[in-house]
């Protein structure tokens, strides 16, 4: 070995044996990219509404847990307020008469219900002078003609007359009621003509159909929606339908209410309705988003004397907000009836329970129909305990035990 070669060998051996040096690997080891940059968590990203300032697609999640804030003071925003059934008969008529106060049923809620561009109610009793005054159980409904002052007071703009009790006093009762409402500046739906309300240049058209005791005439329904579509920018269809005392929309062959509300609602949207409003079951029910349109199956009771169960004492008032012709938000507030006819807003705890019940019922329906739900899906709350008989101050003395209220 030459001297030069010996020196080179010694250097190589020293390098290999040195503890301070790492041998070069033939193939480098690479750290996975996923270990360096984690995949983004969708939950920590700004929502579509935040990123773009535009309303997201309508969904149960957006309705019950909104991310979109409706522009304040926008000329494009209009609001439609809808109540549950208004039945100023039996106990309601008796207690407003003995009080000599036909505004009484609406005093606790009027400031709220009149504060919308359009207030739409379902009136389920003919109004005329000489209506018999009795709190006794009866299914022949009527109310004093002076009740119209209460409807004016609470801001009613459109009154749906398509239901199973408006005809309790025959054609004469229907005609008297329709004329009375129009004389006091209200329009009516459900008797044929489309009610059209112009809100700052945007026209809302209202039609109504009864499906309690009879099948809904689908030919007339399709034609009514088409006519409203010709006259208005936003088409609102209200139905009286479904089985009573249920959280889920369903037919009731025994009454009969033969139509499935879900089927009729879907047809209405397919035929051009922009929003579908439901009432009659006397319990509020869940809602559905179908092809981007809102279906509300029942708002429960608003003004009625059904004090015999907590569920029938409750209802929701819905406010539906449109940006142009697009529904972008909904808000529900819960009410409870006291003293056989006066709804009062629930306290915050009870209101939250009512809205959770609505959300859970909506998710149950969506699951059955294989549609998107909210997330996480809430459990359906237990049936509420019975509230006191009398309204809390300032609308009543409060207390009074639980009255006749019991399990439904």
Look at residues 251, 258, 237, 230 and name the one whose alpha carbon lies nearest to residue 190: 237
Q: Quote the pTM value.
A: 0.87
* Residue 264: DSSP 8-state: H
Mean pLDDT for all residues in the chain? 90
- Cis peptide leading into 142, omega within 30 of 0? no
Q: Does residue 357 sit within a domain?
A: no
What's the rounded mean pLDDT across residues 199-216?
97
All residues at 6 or more sequence positions from 88 whose CB lies less than 8 Å from its CB, including other chains = 96, 105, 123, 125, 127, 143, 144, 147, 150, 303, 341
Q: What is the pLDDT of residue 8?
A: 41
Q: Does residue 363 sit within a domain?
A: no
Q: Does residue 378 sit within a domain?
A: no
What confidence tier does 275 reach under pLDDT thresholds 50, 70, 90? very high
Write the CATH number for 204: 3.60.21.10
Q: Does residue 241 sit within a domain?
A: yes
Question: Is 56 within 8 Å of 68 (Cβ atoms)?
Answer: yes
Q: Does residue 126 sit within a domain?
A: yes
User: With 50 as the cut, is the pLDDT of residue 180 above it?
Assistant: yes
CA distance 145 to 120: 19
User: With 80 as the cut, is the pLDDT of residue 262 above it?
Assistant: yes
User: With 50 as the cut, is the pLDDT of residue 133 above it?
Assistant: yes
Q: Does residue 66 sit within a domain?
A: no
- Please give the residue range of the domain that contains residue 261: 77-348
What confidence tier does 73 reach under pLDDT thresholds 50, 70, 90? confident
CA distance 322 to 68: 13
Share of the chain above pLDDT 70, in %: 85
Q: Does residue 132 sit within a domain?
A: yes
What's the rounded mean pLDDT across residues 305-317?
96
Q: Does residue 111 sit within a domain?
A: yes
Within the chain, what is the greatest distance between any pair of CA atoms? 133
Number of domains in the chain: 1
Q: What is the pLDDT of residue 7?
A: 44
Look at residues 333, 353, 336 and name the one whose alpha carbon lies nearest to residue 388: 336
């Amino acid at each position: 070995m030459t001297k030069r070669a010996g020196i080179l060998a010694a250097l190589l051996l020293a390098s290999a044996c040195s503890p301070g040096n790492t041998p070069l690997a033939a193939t480098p080891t690479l750290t996975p990219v996923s270990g360096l940059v984690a995949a983004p968590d969708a939950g920590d990203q700004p929502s579509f509404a935040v990123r773009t300032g535009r309303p997201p697609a309508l969904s149960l999640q957006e309705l019950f847990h909104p991310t979109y804030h409706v522009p304040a003071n926008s000329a494009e925003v209009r609001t439609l307020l809808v109540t549950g059934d208004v039945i100023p008969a039996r106990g309601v008529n008796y207690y407003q008469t003995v009080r000599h106060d036909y505004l009484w049923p609406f005093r606790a809620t009027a400031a709220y219900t009149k504060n919308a561009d359009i207030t739409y109610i379902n009136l389920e009793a003919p109004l005329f002078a000489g209506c018999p005054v009795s709190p006794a159980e009866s299914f022949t409904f009527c109310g004093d003609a002076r009740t119209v002052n209460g409807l004016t007071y609470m801001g009613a703009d459109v009154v749906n007359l398509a239901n199973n009790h408006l005809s309790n006093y025959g054609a004469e009762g229907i005609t008297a009621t329709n004329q009375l409402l129009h004389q006091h500046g209200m329009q009516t739906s459900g008797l044929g003509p489309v009610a059209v309300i112009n809100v700052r240049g945007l026209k809302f058209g209202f039609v109504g159909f009864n499906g309690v005791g009879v099948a809904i005439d689908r030919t007339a329904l399709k034609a009514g929606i088409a006519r409203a579509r010709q006259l208005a920018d936003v088409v609102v269809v209200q139905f009286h339908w479904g089985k009573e005392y249920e959280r889920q929309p369903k037919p009731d062959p025994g009454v009969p209410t033969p139509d499935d509300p879900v089927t009729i609602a879907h047809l209405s949207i397919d035929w051009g309705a922009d929003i579908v409003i439901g009432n009659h079951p006397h319990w509020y029910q869940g809602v559905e988003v179908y092809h981007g349109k809102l279906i509300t199956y029942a708002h429960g009771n608003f003004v009625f004397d059904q004090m015999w169960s907590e569920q029938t004492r409750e209802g929701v008032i819905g406010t539906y907000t449109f940006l142009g012709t697009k529904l972008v938000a909904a808000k529900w507030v819960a009410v409870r009836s006291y003293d056989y006819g006066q709804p009062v807003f629930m306290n915050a705890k009870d209101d939250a329970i009512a809205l959770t019940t609505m959300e859970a019922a909506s998710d149950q329906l969506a699951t059955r129909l294989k549609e998107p739900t909210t997330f996480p899906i809430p459990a359906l709350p237990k049936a509420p305990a019975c509230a006191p008989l009398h309204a809390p101050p300032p609308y009543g003395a409060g207390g009074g035990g639980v009255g006749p209220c019991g399990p439904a």
